[in-house]
Amino acid sequence: MGKRVAVVLAGCGVFDGSEIHEASAALVHLSRGGAEVKIFAPNIEQRDVVNHLKGSPAEEKRNVLVESARLARGNIQDLAELKASEFDAVIFPGGFGVAKNLCSWAVDGKNCTVNEHVKSTLQAFHSAKKPIGLCCISPVLAAKVFPGCEVTVGQDKNVDGRFPDAETASAIVELGCKHICKNVNESHVDEANKIVTTCAFMCKAPLHEIFDGIGTMVQEVLKLA
């Protein structure tokens, strides 16, 4: 029987929700790994709505669960209903929605608050010694909830202009965590905490390299599950 994995989304679209390619890559690799997947998102209003064509704010309101349902093809549940006891692992794709809707990192940086259901979900899997997979900006959730953990968001310097958000690594260190420098096609496994991270679109890289990096994260999560 395949591993039971929960995937937590943050909306639909890179600038105000989950990064679509990352979410899709995680789901493809989970499918290939024989996992049984259920998708969740918090039933809350988005922090903002961005016109993805213009890159500017839109004067409207959207719900994170409703927007995430687009990616889940309608088969999704409220994050409040997620029970860690029913799963072997949990995975959080990235996207600005993580930093805006799942926590307030986009506004408050390392002083952010984490959504109560997101925090309790992370704590429940961690307490049960079940693996947690995170990519792109999502590792900041672990850094905030689990001081002392090891994560990667890529490099801690803007190597060849490919890591424009390298300062995120410094903020993670300021939270008391260890940042491990990794390339886009790699992931890092914090064996002690069973946290697996990969940088994905924190690196300016071809889509197939990001897809492959997420694949390594998913494979490591399934191994630990």
For the cut 90, the answer to whether the pLDDT of residue 147 exceeds it is: yes
**What range defines the domain where residue 13 resides?**
4-224
Q: Could you give the number of structural domains in the chain? A: 1
Cβ contact 89:130 at 8 Å: yes
Residue 131's domain is classified under what CATH number? 3.40.50.880
Task: Return mean pLDDT, the chain.
Answer: 98
| 194 has a pLDDT exceeding 90 | yes
Mean pLDDT of 167-172: 98
Helices 20-32 and 207-224, axial angle in degrees (round to 10): 50
Please say if the pLDDT value at position 42 is more than 90.
yes
pLDDT for 1:
78
Is residue 136 flagged as an active site residue? yes
Q: What is the mean pLDDT of residues 154-177?
A: 97
Of the residues 12, 136, 199, 203, which is catalytic? 136
Write the CB contacts of 99 (distance below 8 Å, at least 6 apart in sequence): 105, 106, 112, 137, 140
| More confident position, 157 or 1 | 157
pLDDT in tens, 55-114: 999 999 999 999 999 999 999 999 999 999 999 999 999 999 999 999 999 999 999 999
Please state whether beta strands 4-8 and 36-41 pair in parallel, antiparallel, or not at all (unpaired): parallel
